[in-house]
Amino acid sequence: EGYSYILDRIKQLHGDITVQESYWALMTTDVIPGNREKSREEQLVLASRVENYDAPTLLQAAVCNFVEYVGSGKRLFGNEPWTYTCCKEEPIKGWKLVVGGFAPAGLDVVNYSGNVNVGVAGVRRK
């Protein structure tokens, strides 16, 4: 599948997302500095404060990771150091939906209530 781990609950809620229209998306190659270990709400606000950027959706974070890897061999939000980006969706109230930990085994799509490895990336949609 390309994923090393994806929770069944996340598959149930987001596994059949359809794209209504195509668009270009530019995502930062790392989480925005200074936002690890913040609440989900704080991270979403911090991402929106970067001009023309916002926090990624699950689909944007996963697709940008895979496209970058296919094109350059680089894993965004990888395992050296372990890094995850918080996404806009909230799978369970109070928990973060995160994408990252992209290692040779694949990409993780999981939820956390808090973790030192979780920050938020910025995505710009055109």
- Model confidence at 97, in pLDDT bands (50, 70, 90)? confident
The answer, yes or no, to whether residue 5 has pLDDT greater than 70, is no
Q: Residue 12: its pLDDT value, please?
A: 72
Domain-wise residue ranges, the chain:
3-16+23-125
CA gap 82, 92 in Å, rounded:
23
Q: Which of 67-76, 83-92, 108-117 has the lowest mean pLDDT?
A: 108-117
- Mean confidence (pLDDT) of the chain: 86
Q: Residue 55: its pLDDT value, please?
A: 95
- Model confidence at 1, in pLDDT bands (50, 70, 90)? very low
- CATH class given for the domain over 3-16+23-125: alpha beta
For 7-57, the pLDDT digits (tens) are 677 777 777 778 788 999 999 999 999 888 888 889 999 999 999 999 999
Report DSSP letters for 57-122, one per residue.
PHHHHHHHHHHHHHHHS--SSBBTTB-EEE-S--SSTT-EEEEEEEETTEEEEEEES--TTEE---
What's the average model confidence in pLDDT over 89-102?
A: 84
DSSP state of 41: H
Q: Residue 124: its pLDDT value, please?
A: 95
The answer, yes or no, to whether residue 70 has pLDDT greater than 90, is yes
